Structure 1
Amino acid sequence: MSRVAIYNLYWHTYGGGEQVSGAFAEFLAREHDVTLLGPTRPDIDASRTRLGVDLSSCEFVAVMDDDEAAEASSDFDVFVNGTYRSHARNRARRGIYYVHFPEPPATSRERVRSAVSQVGLAAMGPLVRGWEGDDTAHRVKRAFARRRRDLSWVESYSNFAANSEYTAGWVRRLWGAQSSVLYPAVRPVVTDVAESDKQPLIVSVGRFFDPKLGHCKKQAELLETFAQMHRSGRTLVDDREWRLAFVGGADAASREYTLGVRRAAQGLPVDVHVNKPREIVESNLRVGSIYWHGTGYGERLANHPERFEHFGIAVVEAMLAGCVPVVYGEAGPAEIVRHGVDGFHWHSPEQLAEFTYLLMTDPAKRQAMSHAATVRGREFSIDRFRSAIGAIVN
């Protein structure tokens, strides 16, 4: 029996990354002593309800950052790092890093800053040794260290597991490391969905992020496509008006973007649900017939790979609810959705409208693809995930 540490700085958010870390912990706790590392102890009941994982047999040790996690890792046989964009150095006998997405490519300014910091570190070495006890010299050296783009910590890990082929490709490119692909486990948001539940509704689930913040879900662009379809009369099919529903959270930093979407939706058959209970997601997916996804549209893959969907948990949740996905055909969703089989890939607003209208006007195709989407979604099950964890750990 080994001593295993699972490190996650964001247990309290109960998001997709925490679901993966929790699944690692629950599975490994069957045969090993597992300790959770993070700033705050995860709530056992909330983890069971919101993440679908049982952490009751796990211990907990508080660590506040990568440095403390690295230090704590030396007390364990296996260190599993599930923290997004962590640079914690593994000091356990074996280290496994689950990669949600690696550090984005360095800009020219960042490359210059890193080079200057590297020179500064080299110059500060003799000075710090000569000024023992001088806090100022040590602070300057630490500042240089923080600004240096240092990837030496990568070599401290035995295994890397990526959440998609897309992410694995960027791990190779940015970190120079090989990784196996371990798709996250996705639980159904709703169960026992009947064909009779479905209504003429398009659903899009995702946080409202201002484009200036990077990972935008492109609600404004999706809304504009729907508005054009509405103006051309293509949202009225067989005397039934199709609607569009956005569901997602928003914070103060994205307030203006969210309000802009709401203003643009006025006068259209569009609902914008912001910061609503999880039940709103559930009810919309239950009755929704089509799912829209747009993350990555209009972005340059080579410059900003982090702005694309790294995997697409919400896409799989929609498929499990019987919604036919029409996704932007790059990155994670392009791996999940098989074009023309259980959904469609779009690369232009015109294609988004074309594929959507095809589904609106062909109930038989929509029903067949709904069934195929549900079957495909089940491939991302917890049982498959646990089996893959076992293969990586063993």
Structure 2
Amino acid sequence: MKAGVYSLYWDTLGGGEYYAGMVAKILEERGYKVELFSPSRNTVDSLNRRFKIGLNHTTVNQRAIKLMHGSILAKWLFTSHYDVLFFVSDGSIPFLFGKKNLLHFQVPFKGVGGGNWLNQLKLRSIHHVICNSEFTKRHIDEEYNVKSQVIYPSVRPIPKIGSKQKIILSVGRFDGNRKGKRQDVLVDAFKKMKLKNWRLILAGGVLETDSKYVASLTRQAKGCPISIDANCSFAKLTAYYQAASLFWHAQGFGTDIINHPQNTEHFGISAVEAMTAGAIPLVFNGGGLPEIVDEATGYTWDTIADLESKTKTAIYRLNDKAFINRIVLKSHQFSKGVFDAKFVSLLG
């Protein structure tokens, strides 16, 4: 059996690439000969190094990228030999001719002409449209006139080692625009709160094009107990999760969510990772984040004042074991076992 997995953005190593990598892992475990359609021969190694996915037999098909952007005949000649094709959409719909064609949306695209006749023609060969959250699904179904299904990402549990410290953690790519994780907002909030003996740690990946944003954050945080760790190792990130008592997430703050839903957090893998380690999540009340966190398992916030107030409340609840246990239990809804079972059911 042969399977192909496509993403246009392997080099960013973001949520969509993690999701696609986990799909490759499932297929590999079930005996498929899996190929990643990527221009870089190092894609498998990069996925394993960043996400510890554990791909053992998956290979890279560099030639596939050119063929996937070729003529319809070229696409048919190439893709018809695959038993399963998994395509992470960048907003476009591909012509796929595999025996089982799966189209995945990480982003709630809006206003991209999703319902045009050509896309509707292409969708006839798609067996399942998959979204990463109910939030994404609502927008995709409306934009593309489809009935998609939600399969939440598989989130790795963080081993509970050591004791919690007075650390607030935020994890996410350093993206220097208002569509990013908004670390700048969190730095300002932390400086204003002046929490005694507490530290804020900002960790995440950064591309060279966003290095100026990291430099700006460093200047903004100067003189405060704030650490900025760009492109930190997997081991170091795990240690941060294990030590953090609170977790902050601000993506979507200051965004027109109705007209620009793509600028919010579409799911929130890092929030779930923090919850598996027993950190109390305080996340912006928008996008897919409220599907992860509710009043029984953390806090959602709408304004900076709201974040500050609920952070102080969360600090008072750090020794509430029942509360912490509910948080950890909620994270189990996004386990690899749940993800695998739902995905395998689509293969037929």
Q: TM-score under structure 2 normalisation? A: 0.87
| Corresponding residue for residue 373 of structure 1 | 327
What amino acid sits opposite 1:249 in the alignment? G
Mapped to 2, the partners of 1:206 and 1:215 lie a distance apart of 12
Q: Does 1:64 align with 2:65?
A: yes
Q: Does 1:220 align with 2:184?
A: yes
Mapped to 2, the partners of 1:288 and 1:268 lie a distance apart of 18
- Does the residue aligned with 1:338 lie in a helix, a strand or coil? coil
Q: Does 1:171 align with 2:140?
A: yes
- Aligned residue runs from structure 1 range 336-375, under 5 A: 336-339=292-295, 341-365=296-320, 367-375=321-329
Q: 1:192 aligns with which of 154, 160, 166?
A: 160
Mapped to 1, the partners of 2:153 and 2:222 lie a distance apart of 37
Q: 1:286 aligns with which of 226, 242, 245?
A: 242
- Asked if the contact 1:70–1:88 (Cα under 8 Å) also holds between the matched residues in 2, the reply is no
Deviation at 1:170, TM superposition (A): 1.1
Mapped to 1, the partners of 2:290 and 2:207 lie a distance apart of 29
Deviation at 1:311, TM superposition (A): 0.9
- Does the residue aligned with 2:288 lie in a helix, a strand or coil? helix
Deviation at 1:31, TM superposition (A): 4.7
Deviations 1:75-94 (CA, angstroms, capped at 9, x unpaired)? 22432213544532112243
Q: TM-score under structure 1 normalisation? A: 0.77
| Corresponding residue for residue 80 of structure 2 | 74
Q: CA RMSD in A?
A: 2.7
Deviation at 1:164, TM superposition (A): 0.5
Deviation at 1:272, TM superposition (A): 2.0
- Does the residue aligned with 1:64 lie in a helix, a strand or coil? helix
| Corresponding residue for residue 324 of structure 1 | 280
Q: Does 1:257 align with 2:259?
A: no
- Asked if the contact 2:137–2:150 (Cα under 8 Å) also holds between the matched residues in 1, the reply is yes
Deviations 1:162-181 (CA, angstroms, capped at 9, x unpaired)? 01001111111211111110
Q: Does 1:203 align with 2:169?
A: yes
| Corresponding residue for residue 39 of structure 2 | 39
Q: Does 1:182 align with 2:151?
A: yes
Deviation at 1:336, TM superposition (A): 0.8
Mapped to 2, the partners of 1:162 and 1:242 lie a distance apart of 37
Count of residues in correspondence between the two structures: 339
Structure 2 spans left out of the alignment, 5+ residues: none
Mapped to 2, the partners of 1:374 and 1:180 lie a distance apart of 25
| Corresponding residue for residue 7 of structure 1 | 6
Distance change >3 Å, CA 310–CA 287, structure 1 → 2:
same
Mapped to 1, the partners of 2:32 and 2:231 lie a distance apart of 39
Q: Does 1:393 align with 2:338?
A: no
Distance change >3 Å, CA 250–CA 6, structure 1 → 2:
closer
Distance change >3 Å, CA 203–CA 58, structure 1 → 2:
closer
What amino acid sits opposite 1:199 in the alignment? Q
